[in-house]
Every structure is written in C-alpha cells, then in structure tokens.
Amino acid sequence: MEKFQTLHTTGRPLPLENIDTDQIIPARFLKATTREGFGENLFCDWRYNADGSPKPGFVLNDSRYRGSILVAGKNFGCGSSREHAAWALYDAGFRAVISSYFADIFRGNALNTGLLPLQVSDEVLARLLAAIEADPQLELVVDLPSQTLAVPAWSETFSFAIDGYKKECLINGYDDIDFLVNQKSAIEAFEKQRAWTW
C-alpha cells in the first residue's frame, strides 16, 4: 500500500446520496482476477452511454474537474462489500473521498486500499459541494498527520476523525496482514485454550 501523508488538490463533486458500490463498479466488471484496471469502468453506467461514448454532464467527463478528491453525498459506498469499488476509485486517480457518512465496509476497504475516507458534517459537505461547483479550481489541502482538511480560500480548517491505528498504517503504507501474521503465537495460544469440542 502506498504511503499517504498530505494531499494538495481540487475536488470533483458528485452530490448524490446513497451512492452504492454497484454504481461505483457494476458487478459485470468484477470478473477480473487482479486488482488493477478497474478505473476505466468507475461509475460506468453514469459515465458512458451504451455505445461507450462519454455522457456529457457527468463529473468524470467534465474537463473542469481534475482533482484527486471525490466529494460525494452522504452514505457513500453502501451495498456490496466489493473492495473493487475502492480499487476502481484509486485506479482512476482518486486518493480521498469526502462525504458526510460512509458505509462501514466501504470505509474499511478504502483504508485497506490507501484511499482516505474523509468524513465531514452535512453542513460542511453542502458548502464544499456548492463551492466546488462555483469554482472547480477550489483548492483543498488534506493533512493526515494533523487530521485536517483545509480550504485556503475560506481561511478555514476542519478536523476529521480516523482510527489511530489505521492512520499510522496509511501514513506508513502498512496493512493489517503484517500486524496479524505477527500475532501468530497469541492466535495459536487462543486456539488451544478454547473450550470448543465440536
């Protein structure tokens, strides 16, 4: 997993609520057996017509928006547990998603992919969406060590929550496998002391 420290970029607005992982990456694209290449089908059915031509008006087809933060409506990533949704966002160049609410499994998958799920209040989200639509060049600065999102144009900084362990993992590019494999002796001891007879 790549290290994540800071992000200095612009946002791409997708002001819809309850964006599910079937929209992020439809199931018919889950036949691949590797992690790479899902980005071209990210938001496929919103992004392309049936003949493969881009749908004008969809944010990923709008040349005004080029940043690596997706700013989306609340309850982002609900539905299926497919990690392919996080891989597709990452593969398409996104490094963070800002929303006012994330579905649990998506949040975990994003953190395991190196994609930062950055939760803000409904009010801040609404302000961000409006401001980015008014000015696609609105600068956003994410600083993971200090857990802040800064909007220099507003002279405002918002703090966000993240689990301390997951924060360290992201900053250092570690993942849970390394940690869990190192717990092997504790896990084996746990197995031995269990009362299960069936």
Partner 1 sequence: MSRTLFDKIWDAHVVRSVEGLDVVYIDRHLIHEVTSPQAFDELAARNLPLFRPSQILATADHNVPTLHQDQPIREPLSRLQVEKLTENCEKYGIELYGLGHQRQGIVHVIGPELGLTQPGLTMVCGDSHTSTHGAFGAVAFGIGTSQVAQVMASQCLLLSRPKRMRISVEGELRPGVTAKDLILYVIAQLGTGGATGHFVEYAGSAVRSLSMEGRMTVCNMSIEMGARGGLIAPDATTFAYVEGRPFAPKGEAWHDAVAYWQTLYSDDDATFETEYTYQAADITPMITYGTNPGMGIPLTGHVPSEVPASEAESFDKSLKYMGFERGESLLGKQIDYVFIGSCTNSRIEDLRAVAAYVQGKQKANHVEAIIVPGSKQVEHQAIAEGIDKIFAAAGFELREPGCSACLAMNEDKIPAGAYCVATSNRNFEGRQGPGSRTLLASPLVAAITAVQGRIVDITQYLN
Smallest gap from residue 68 Cβ to partner 1 (A): 21
- Cα 192 to its chain centre, rounded Å, is 39
- Residues 176 and 130: their CA atoms lie apart, in Å, by 37
Given strand 96-99, what is the order of strands in its sheet? Answer: 116-119, 96-99, 69-72, 6-14, 139-143, 148-151, 156-159
Binding mask 93-132 for partner 1 (x = CB under 8 A): --------x-xxx--xx--xx--------x---x------
Exactly one of 8, 28, 55, 66 binds partner 1 (CB under 8 A); which one?
Answer: 28
Q: Decide if 170 contacts 114 (C-beta within 8 A).
A: yes
Q: Name the residue nearer to partner 1 (CB basis): 154 or 165.
A: 165
Going from the C-alpha of 48 to that of each of 59, 71, 159, 179, the distances in angstroms are: 11, 20, 36, 41
Strands 96-99 and 116-119: parallel
Q: Is residue 181 involved in binding partner 1 (CB under 8 A)? A: yes
Tell me which stretch binds partner 1 (CB under 8 A): 3-11, 30-38, 59-67, 143-151: 30-38
Tell me which stretch binds partner 1 (CB under 8 A): 4-12, 24-32, 51-59, 153-161: 24-32
Widest distance between CA atoms in the chain: 65
Residues in touch with partner 1 (CB under 8 A): 15-18, 20, 22-23, 26-28, 30-35, 45, 50, 73-75, 78-84, 86, 101, 103-105, 108-109, 112-113, 122, 126, 163-165, 175-177, 179-181, 183-184, 186-187, 190-191, 195, 197-198
